């Protein structure tokens, strides 16, 4: 899948397809294509790996905000030892 995404991005960048043609042909939204392009521009092919998207999004948010978020903020709080015994 990564290779296909890279080929679509390369085809648009090389002028073989317009963004609209690529989106129509591959059933993409403009936002989805633009996210692929941004991922390639920032991180190369590794940026297209879906498992890496959250890591790169977090890094981008940290760059913009100056914070040191870990990416675990969205996880529910862990139960303490007493709560685990009661469950």
Q: Where are the domains of the chain?
A: 2-65
Q: In a 3-state reduction of DSSP, which class is residue 4?
A: helix
Residue 11, helix vs strand vs coil: helix
Identify whether the C-beta of residue 58 lies closer than 8 Å to the C-beta of residue 71.
yes
Q: What is the pTM of this model?
A: 0.55
Q: Could you tell me the two tokens for 22?
A: 């690529």
pLDDT per residue as tens digits for the range 4-36: 899 999 999 999 999 999 999 999 999 999 989
CA 50 to chain CA centroid, nearest Å: 6
Other Cβ atoms less than 10 A from the Cβ of 51: the count is 6
């Amino acid at each position: 899948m990564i290779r296909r995404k890279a080929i679509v991005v390369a085809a648009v960048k090389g002028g073989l397809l317009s963004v609209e043609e690529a989106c129509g042909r591959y059933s993409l939204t403009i936002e989805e294509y633009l996210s692929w392009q941004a991922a390639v521009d920032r991180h190369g092919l590794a940026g297209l790996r879906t498992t890496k998207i959250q890591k790169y999004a977090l890094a981008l948010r940290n760059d913009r905000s100056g914070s040191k978020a870990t990416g675990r903020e969205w996880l529910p709080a862990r139960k303490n030892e007493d709560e685990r015994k009661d469950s």
